[in-house]
C-alpha cells in the first residue's frame, strides 16, 4: 500500500471535532405540565459537573467517516509485487556461466570467472545467489544460498568443457530457479558468455519470469577480429594393390574470422603446416595456405594398413588461440571383405557384366566375387560366402542346388534374386520363399515403366534420402514380372503402375503339408534383370550405390565409424565369447584415464562420448592379451565458428511472453500515478464514507425517537422541581 498525497493524512486531526461536539452538548429536558403533584413522589436530585460521552457508537461512526475522507484525499494505491520487490532490500542473483570449448579462446574463461566472482562478491547478508554452468547442457552447481564465498569457490573450479554451446537449456534452468524462489525481493539474471552465433537459433524461445533484471557480460572481444583455424573433417579412400590395402587420407582445414556484420572481410591469410600421425608418429606433413573465411582439403599420400590391426590416426594443425579444434582423431581398420557368389545362366557371359563391374568397384567393404554358371554350381561354393546373387538363373538350378541355396539363407546368408525370362523362372527357387508371379508386364510398345516410389527408411535406399543423392526416375523398365508378395514380406519399391519393384522377404523353408521354419537370412527379389535387356538401370549413376547397399544389407554389414563427436552416443559392439568361456567383461578407458567396468561378455554397448581423444575397451581376462577396441572422438565442429550473436535479437527472445507474464510486466513498468489512476481506490473510500454517514443519520434519528422523556414538576410561579 502506498500514498500519492500523504499530507492529506493531516486531515485525520478533524476526528477531534465530533469528539468535542459530543462533550459540549448537554441533555435538554422536556417540560411536562401537570395540574397537581400530589400523586408524584419527590426524587432526590444531585447536580454533577463531570462530563461523560454519550452515544459512543454514533461518535465512532462520525470519526470513521472523517478518517475515510482523509484517506481518500491522500490517494492510496496497491503497489503489488513490483513495488514490494523494489522496496525490499534482498536480492536473488542467478549467474549463467558458459564453459563451452570456445571459452578456451585466449583468456575468455578467466575474464568470465572474474565477472561471476564479482557478482557473488556483491551479495549482502540478506541476498542469495545461484550458479548454473552450461555448454550444450546446463547444470545447477548450487541451489540459492547466501554463502558468496562458496559460490566464488565454485566459479574458480569451473573448467572448459569440450562441448558446444546452447543457451536454451541454461535459460530454462534459470527460469525454474527464479520462479521457484518465491521471494518478494529483486531477482537478477547474469549471463556470462562469448555469445557465439551457434548458441541460439531463430526457433529458440525461452521467456523469463516477470520483473527479472537481466544483465549480459560479453567476453567475446566484440570490437576486434578473432581468427580461428580448425580441422573439421577427414575423408578416406581405400584401395588395394595385390594383398596390400592402402588408404588415402584427406583433411578439411577451415579458417574463419569473426567480426561485426558491418565490417569488411579483412585479415591475414593462414599459412600453416598440417601433420599426419599414425600411432603417434608423424608420417607426413603438408603445407597449407588459406584466405579468410575459406576451407580446403589437404590430401596425404596413401598409407599401407596392416592387416588384422587397428591404426590410430591424428591430423594435427599448428596451435592457435583455440587449440581444442587443432587436432582431428580417427581410427583406421582393414576393410572388411564380403564374399559374393554370382550364379549366371549357362552360355551367356554378358548377363552379369554390369553387376560384376559394380562389385569390383567396392571399397568399403571390398567384395570378393566368385562367378559360376548355373550348371556348374556346387554346394561347396557357398563356403566363405555371405551373399549369393542369382542373376536370371533360377530356372536352370537343379533341385539339390535350390535346396542348398535355401539352406544357405536359413543359416543366415543373404540372397539377391533377379527374375527374367518368363514365368518359369519363378517356378523353382521362388516357391521356396512363397513368391509367385501374376504375369509379365510388357511395356515395349507403349511408354516404358519407371520407378515411382522407394522406401528411404530401408537400409537399401537410405543413402538416397537426401536431395540430389540419386535419381531413379531416369531408368526405364520395359519388362518385369508382377510379383505377388508373400505374407510377412515388405515392398520397398514400386513401379509407376503400382507393381512391386523390389521385395524384402522373410524367407522360410516351405515343405508341403508341413510348417515353415523362420529363417535368419535375408532375401531381396528384383522382378527384372541386372542387365540392359529389360531395363536401363545399369546405365544410371544410381546403379553402383544401389548394388553396394543391397549386398551390404544382405550380408548384415555396417560400415564402422572412424570417429564420433563429443555429445554423441556411440554404439560399441564388444566381441565377447560364449557364456562360460572365462571372460570377465570389459573395462572402458576414457581419454582422461577414467575407467569404467562393463559387466558383459560381449554384445552392444551405448557410450556417451564426453571427451575428445581415444576410448579403449579392454577385455578383463588374466590369460588373454588382445588388442583393445578403440574409438576416436573429436570436439563439435559448430563450436569452431566464433561468429557473433545478435544480442538485441537474443534479448527480444527471452523477454516475458505476453500471454503469460504480460500483465505483470505492464504493471511493473507503470508509474505510481498510472497505477493509482487505474485502481481508483479513493472512489471506494468516499463511497464507504457516504455509507457510514448515512448509517449514522439513520441510527441517530432512531436513538432520539426512542429516548425516554425527563419529567420535572412545574408550578404556576414558573419554578421547577
329 phi and psi angles, rounded to 5 deg = -105, 150
384, with CB counted inside 10 A (0-12, 13-18, 19+), is exposed
**pTM for this predicted structure:** 0.69
Split at pLDDT 50, 70, 90, the class of 715 is low
Rounded to whole angstroms, the Cα distance separating 457 from 460 reads 8
Residue that wins the pLDDT comparison between 651 and 96? 96
* Burial readout 91-110 (b: 16 or more C-beta within 10 A, e: otherwise): bbbbbbbbbbbbbbbeebbe
638, with CB counted inside 10 A (0-12, 13-18, 19+), is middle
CATH of domain 337-555: 3.40.50.880
- Which of 28-32, 126-130, 199-203, 709-713 is the most confident on average? 126-130
Residues near 551 by Cβ (< 8 Å), separated by ≥ 6?
338, 340, 359, 362, 367, 387, 389, 414, 416
3-class SS of residue 425? helix
Closest CA to 94 of 218, 210, 186, 198: 186
Given a cut of 60, whether residue 195 has pLDDT beyond it is: yes
Say what the pLDDT of residue 301 is.
94
Rounded to whole angstroms, the Cα distance separating 177 from 189 reads 10
674, containing H or E segment: helix 672-679
Say what the pLDDT of residue 56 is.
76
Say what the pLDDT of residue 89 is.
61
Rounded to a whole number, what is the distance in angstroms from the first to the last CA of the chain? 60
Do the bridges between strand 76-77 and strand 569-574 make them parallel or antiparallel, or are there none, so unpaired? Answer: unpaired
The CATH class of the 83-222+644-669 domain is alpha beta
Residues near 690 by Cβ (< 8 Å), separated by ≥ 6?
none
Q: What is the mean pLDDT of residues 690-708?
A: 76
Closest CA to 443 of 472, 476, 483: 476
Closest CA to 626 of 602, 609, 607, 606: 602
274 phi and psi angles, rounded to 5 deg = -115, 125
Q: What is the mean pLDDT of residues 204-221?
A: 84
**What average pLDDT does the structure give for the chain?**
81
Choices 3.30.70, 2.60.40, 1.10.3470, 3.40.1420: CATH for 564-638: 2.60.40
What are 508-528's pLDDT values in tens digits?
333 333 334 444 789 999 998
Q: How many CB atoms lie within 10 A of CB 399?
A: 9
Closest CA to 614 of 250, 314, 315: 314
Split at pLDDT 50, 70, 90, the class of 14 is confident
What are 88-129's pLDDT values in tens digits?
567 899 999 999 999 998 889 999 999 999 999 988 888 899
What are 54-85's pLDDT values in tens digits?
677 777 888 888 888 888 888 887 765 544 44
| Cβ proximity of 70 and 11 under 8 Å | yes
3-class SS of residue 152? helix
| Cβ proximity of 165 and 639 under 8 Å | yes
The two counts, helices (H) then strands (E), for the chain are 14, 34
Split at pLDDT 50, 70, 90, the class of 428 is low
Closest CA to 144 of 174, 114, 117, 113: 174
Sheet of 281-290, strands arranged across? 281-290, 270-278, 311-317, 327-332
What are 486-498's pLDDT values in tens digits?
888 899 999 999 9
Is the domain spanning 226-334 CATH 2.60.40.10? The answer is yes
From residue 706, alpha-carbon distances to 49, 479, 698, 700, 701 in Å are 26, 119, 13, 10, 9
Given a cut of 50, whether residue 426 has pLDDT beyond it is: no
Do the bridges between strand 479-484 and strand 586-589 make them parallel or antiparallel, or are there none, so unpaired? Answer: unpaired
Residue that wins the pLDDT comparison between 260 and 124? 124
Given a cut of 60, whether residue 554 has pLDDT beyond it is: yes
Say what the pLDDT of residue 523 is.
92
Rounded to whole angstroms, the Cα distance separating 482 from 39 reads 137
Say what the pLDDT of residue 28 is.
57
Residues near 47 by Cβ (< 8 Å), separated by ≥ 6?
none
For 33, the grid coordinates are 405540565
| Cβ proximity of 501 and 494 under 8 Å | yes
Residue that wins the pLDDT comparison between 618 and 190? 190
Give CA 357 to chain center in angstroms.
44
What residues does CATH 2.60.40.10 cover in the chain? 226-334
Residue by residue, DSSP assigns 179-236 as HH---SSEEEEEEEE--BGGG--TT---PPPTTEEEEEEE-S-TTS-EEEEEEEEEEE
Say what the pLDDT of residue 605 is.
79
What are 279-309's pLDDT values in tens digits?
999 999 999 998 888 999 999 999 988 766 7
Say what the pLDDT of residue 180 is.
78
Say what the pLDDT of residue 87 is.
43
Q: Helix H segments across 38-107?
A: 56-73, 80-87
* Burial readout 692-721 (b: 16 or more C-beta within 10 A, e: otherwise): bbeebeeeeeeeeeeeeeeeeebeeeeeee
Split at pLDDT 50, 70, 90, the class of 133 is very high
Amino acid at each position: 500500500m502506498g500514498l500519492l498525497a500523504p499530507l492529506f493524512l493531516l486531515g485525520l486531526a478533524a476526528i477531534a471535532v465530533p469528539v468535542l461536539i459530543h462533550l459540549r452538548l448537554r441533555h435538554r429536558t422536556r417540560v411536562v405540565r401537570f395540574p397537581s403533584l400530589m400523586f408524584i413522589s419527590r426524587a432526590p436530585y444531585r447536580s454533577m459537573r463531570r462530563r461523560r460521552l454519550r452515544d459512543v457508537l454514533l461518535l465512532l461512526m462520525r470519526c470513521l467517516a472523517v478518517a475515510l475522507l482523509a484517506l481518500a484525499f491522500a490517494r492510496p494505491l496497491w503497489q503489488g509485487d513490483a513495488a514490494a520487490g523494489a522496496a525490499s532490500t534482498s536480492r536473488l542473483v542467478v549467474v549463467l556461466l558458459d564453459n563451452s570449448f570456445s571459452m578456451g579462446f585466449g583468456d575468455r574463461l578467466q575474464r568470465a570467472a572474474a565477472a561471476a566472482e564479482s557478482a557473488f562478491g556483491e551479495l549482502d547478508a540478506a541476498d542469495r545467489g545461484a550458479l548454473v554452468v552450461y555448454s550444450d547442457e546446463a547444470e545447477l552447481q548450487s541451489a540459492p544460498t547466501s554463502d558468496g564465498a562458496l559460490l566464488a569457490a565454485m566459479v574458480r573450479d569451473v573448467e572448459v568443457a569440450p562441448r558446444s554451446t546452447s543457451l536454451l537449456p541454461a535459460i530454462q534452468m534459470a527460469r525454474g530457479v527464479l520462479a521457484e524462489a518465491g521471494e518478494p525481493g529483486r531477482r537478477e539474471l547474469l549471463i556470462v558468455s562469448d555469445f557465439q552465433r551457434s548458441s541460439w537459433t531463430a526457433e529458440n524461445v525461452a521467456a523469463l519470469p516477470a520483473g527479472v533484471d537481466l544483465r549480459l557480460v560479453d567476453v567475446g572481444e566484440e570490437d576486434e577480429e578473432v581468427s580461428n583455424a580448425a580441422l573439421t573433417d577427414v575423408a578416406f579412400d581405400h584401395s588395394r594393390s595385390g594383398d596390400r590395402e592402402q588408404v588415402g587420407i584427406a583433411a578439411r582445414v577451415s579458417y574463419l574470422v569473426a567480426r561485426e556484420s558491418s565490417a569488411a572481410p579483412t585479415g591475414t591469410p593462414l599459412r600453416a603446416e598440417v601433420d599426419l600421425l599414425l600411432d603417434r608418429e608423424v608420417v607426413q606433413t603438408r603445407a597449407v595456405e588459406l584466405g579468410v573465411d575459406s576451407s580446403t582439403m589437404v590430401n596425404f599420400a596413401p598409407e599401407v594398413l596392416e592387416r588384422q590391426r587397428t591404426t590410430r590416426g591424428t591430423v594435427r594443425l599448428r596451435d592457435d588461440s583455440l587449440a581444442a579444434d587443432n587436432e582431428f582423431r580417427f581410427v583406421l581398420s582393414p576393410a572388411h571383405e564380403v564374399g559374393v557368389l554370382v550364379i549366371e545362366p549357362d552360355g551367356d557371359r554378358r548377363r552379369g557384366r554390369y553387376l560384376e563391374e559394380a562389385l569390383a568397384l567396392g571399397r568399403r567393404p571390398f567384395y570378393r566375387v566368385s562367378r559360376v554358371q548355373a550348371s556348374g554350381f556346387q554346394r561347396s561354393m557357398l563356403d566363405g560366402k555371405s551373399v549369393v546373387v542369382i542373376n536370371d538363373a533360377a530356372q536352370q538350378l537343379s533341385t539339390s542346388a535350390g535346396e542348398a541355396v535355401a539352406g544357405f539363407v536359413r543359416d543366415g546368408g543373404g540372397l539377391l534374386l533377379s527374375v527374367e525370362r518368363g514365368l518359369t523362372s519363378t517356378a523353382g527357387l521362388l516357391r521356396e520363399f512363397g513368391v509367385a508371379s501374376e504375369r509379365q508386364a510388357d511395356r515395349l510398345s507403349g511408354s516404358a515403366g519407371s520407378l515411382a516410389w522407394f522406401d528411404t527408411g530401408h537400409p537399401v535406399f537410405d543413402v538416397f534420402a537426401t536431395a540430389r543423392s540419386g535419381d531413379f526416375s531416369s531408368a526405364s523398365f520395359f519388362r518385369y514380372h508382377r510379383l505377388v508378395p508373400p505374407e510377412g514380406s515388405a515392398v520397398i519399391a514400386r513401379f509407376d503402375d503400382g507393381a512391386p519393384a523390389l521385395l524384402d522377404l522373410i524367407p522360410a523353408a516351405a515343405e508341403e503339408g508341413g510348417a515353415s521354419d523362420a529363417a535368419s537370412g535375408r532375401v531381396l527379389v528384383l522382378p527384372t534383370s541386372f542387365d540392359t535387356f529389360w531395363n536401363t538401370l545399369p546405365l544410371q549413376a544410381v546403379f553402383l550405390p544401389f548394388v553396394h547397399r543391397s549386398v551390404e544389407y544382405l550380408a548384415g554389414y555396417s560400415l564402422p565409424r572412424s570417429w564420433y563427436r563429443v555429445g554423441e552416443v556411440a554404439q560399441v559392439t564388444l566381441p565377447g565369447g560364449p557364456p562360460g568361456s572365462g571372460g570377465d567383461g570389459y573395462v572402458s578407458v576414457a581419454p582422461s584415464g577414467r575407467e569404467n567396468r562393463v559387466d558383459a561378455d560381449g554384445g552392444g554397448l551405448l557410450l556417451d562420448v564426453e571427451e575428445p581423444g581415444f576410448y579403449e575397451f579392454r577385455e578383463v581376462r588374466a590369460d588373454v592379451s588382445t588388442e583393445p577396441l578403440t574409438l576416436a572422438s573429436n570436439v563439435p565442429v559448430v563450436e569452431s565458428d566464433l561468429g557473433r550473436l545478435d544480442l538485441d535479437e537474443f534479448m527480444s527472445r527471452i523477454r516475458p511472453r505476453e500471454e503469460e507474464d504480460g500483465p505483470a510486466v505492464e504493471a511493473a513498468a507503470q508509474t505510481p500515478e498510472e497505477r493509482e489512476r487505474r485502481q481508483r481506490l479513493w472512489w471506494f473510500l468516499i463511497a464507504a464514507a457516504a455509507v457510514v454517514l448515512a448509517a449514522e443519520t439513520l441510527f441517530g434519528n432512531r436513538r432520539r425517537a426512542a429516548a425516554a422523556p425527563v419529567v420535572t414538576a412545574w408550578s404556576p410561579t414558573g419554578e421547577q422541581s
